[in-house]
Amino acid sequence: MSLGTLPPQVDGVQEAKPAPVKNLPMPGIPYFHPIQRPAPGTFLGMLDSTQPRPLLFTPITIRGVTFQNRVWVSPMCQYSSPDGQLTDWHVAQLGSYACRGASLVMVEAASVTATGRTTPEDAGLWKEEQIPSFARAVQAIHSQGQKAGAQLGHGGRKSSMLAPWLGVGVAVKEANGFLGDVVAPSPIAYDELYPVPREMTIEEIQECIQAFAQAAKRAVAAGFDVVEIHAAHGYLIHTFLSPVSNHRTDLYGGSFENRIRFAVEIVTAIRAEIPEGMPLFFRVSATDCLENGRGWDIEDTVKMTRILKGRGVDLLDVSTSGLHPDQKIAVGPAYQAPFAEIVKTQIPDIFVGSVGILHQPEVANHVLETGQADVVLIGREFSRNPSYVLTLATELGVKVKWPIQLHRAEPSYRGRRLLNL
Ligand SMILES: Cc1cc2nc3c(=O)[nH]c(=O)nc-3n(C[C@H](O)[C@H](O)[C@H](O)COP(=O)(O)O)c2cc1C
């Protein structure tokens, strides 16, 4: 068959519109990939046209980047990186979320220094040689018309541990660990199973801020659309914020202003390295979940967020806890959304993301429709079901664009006989 003469029927369905006469390539991808336009996960209409469009499927624009829906993949470490690099495993996982409709795929935390890795197999962007493996994953995400996010982190006193499936224990030298180089604001271990960190000197703090900035520059070089700073879950930045883990008496400890200084300087340094139109996100543990007054709390988060907004943070990604073993958390559906809501209510001009057990369509939808957050980030449900966006759409009565190669599996094809196999 010559180009331009398509059969009148494709798979037994009469085409309503004239089909393109050529299998067009996705622009910007260095290998052939059929064009995904609009991107998978784009709203096409309500199955019942009397129903309103859910916010989950309403686009959102942050600086120069538009996301066609508000269902994002939360970063998830795979502990599978040789020398910090991403592999085929990452491309397969991240690609599966992208091709099935997640408008933003956050890649797992990339360490900004070799000794800031939580395990020896963490991903990292501490040297130029790591850029190509990230660029390959970004291309896989871009080939689906989706956006890619880099999360930059440093494990602090939780570094040089074993991959979680080996249990909680330190990674010794023979396991490629680096226990002598574990650093934190103060020499206080998370608990007896974790290493006792060395207190960072002022010079090391300055070097670490520069390491964040350089890693952000590498993320830009790898093609990422978004950068996020990981300041949650008891890792290095969080340990500076909380008075429980920061006992310093210099410029980086003591008062609230001093404890947030490290975070503020990282934000400023990164903003100077990334394009004006690139969104900058900040993941925070909104509370240490310790008894009142003992740790970092939601009031501190709100106060800091006002300052970070002024320094160029566009979205606060609201998680909680991870700082201290005494934490008390009531875990359940949307359990962290109330903290997102407090930030959203008190600082209406910053975008807010909610994360944590948003695994049922009605729960995820409720968080946005009640104004608790602007977007949802989903972790483990994407691991269980990479089609979660398509599941959400089906459950909420929304018709969305499917990945072009999988179009014959769309719900409208269910039960139909296929022609032209
Ligand atoms: C295997 C695994 C790895 C994770 N790695 C990261 C990470 O690299 N960065 C981060 O900020 N959170 C990380 N998290 C936390 C998730 O991003 C998310 O906040 C958490 O799983 C709660 O969301 P969920 O209930 O939808 O899974 C990880 C979670 C899991 C399960």
State which ligand 1 atom lies nearest to the alpha carbon of 228: 11
- The Å distance, Cα 261 to ligand 1 centre, comes to 26
- The Å distance, Cα 84 to ligand 1 centre, comes to 18
Distance CA 315, CA 284 (A): 11
Pocket test for ligand 1, best of 71, 72, 76 (most atoms within 8 A of CB): 76
Cβ of 319 less than 6 Å from ligand 1: yes
Q: Which residues of 76-112 are buried (b: 16+ CB within 10 A; e: fewer)?
A: bbbbbbeebbbeeebbebbbbbbbbbbbbbbbbbbbb
Cβ of 283 less than 6 Å from ligand 1: yes
For position 16, what pLDDT does the model report? Answer: 57
Distance CA 196, CA 81 (A): 25
For position 92, what pLDDT does the model report? Answer: 98
Q: Whose CA is nearest to atom 5 of ligand 1?
A: 76
Distance CA 233, CA 213 (A): 21
State which ligand 1 atom lies nearest to the alpha carbon of 164: 1
Q: Which CATH class is domain 44-413?
A: alpha beta
Alpha-helical regions (H) of 199-324: 202-221, 236-241, 256-271, 298-310
Alpha-helical regions (H) of 222-350: 236-241, 256-271, 298-310, 337-346
Give residues with Cβ within 8 angstroms of 172, minimum separation 6. 179
For position 17, what pLDDT does the model report? Answer: 65
End-to-end CA distance of the chain: 16
CA angle centred on 191, ends 187 and 193, rounded to 5°: 110
pLDDT averaged over consecutive 10-residue blocks of the chain (421 residues)?
36 55 94 96 97 98 98 98 98 98 98 98 98 98 98 98 97 98 98 98 98 99 98 98 98 98 98 98 98 92 98 98 96 97 98 97 97 98 97 96 92 78 68
- The Å distance, Cα 244 to ligand 1 centre, comes to 23
For position 13, what pLDDT does the model report? Answer: 43
Residue showing tokens 């429709």: 369
- The Å distance, Cα 32 to ligand 1 centre, comes to 33
Domain layout of the chain by residue ranges: 44-413
Q: DSSP E strands: which ranges in 87-220? A: 104-111, 123-124, 147-153, 183-184, 198-199
Cβ of 278 less than 6 Å from ligand 1: no
Q: Whose CA is nearest to atom 23 of ligand 1?
A: 356
Distance CA 397, CA 162 (A): 44
Q: What's 315's DSSP letter?
A: E
Neighbours of 28 (CB within 10 A): 11
Cβ of 225 less than 6 Å from ligand 1: no
Whether residue 361 contacts residue 392, with contact meaning beta carbons closer than 8 Å, is answered with: yes
Cβ of 75 less than 6 Å from ligand 1: yes
Cβ of 230 less than 6 Å from ligand 1: yes
The encoded tokens of residue 146 equal 């989706």
- The Å distance, Cα 259 to ligand 1 centre, comes to 25
Cβ of 77 less than 6 Å from ligand 1: yes
- The Å distance, Cα 356 to ligand 1 centre, comes to 8
Whether residue 115 contacts residue 182, with contact meaning beta carbons closer than 8 Å, is answered with: yes
Positions marked catalytic: 235
Pocket test for ligand 1, best of 72, 77, 388 (most atoms within 8 A of CB): 77
Q: Is 215 exposed, middle or buried (0-12, 13-18, 19+ CB in 10 A)?
A: buried
Pocket test for ligand 1, best of 118, 380, 385 (most atoms within 8 A of CB): 380
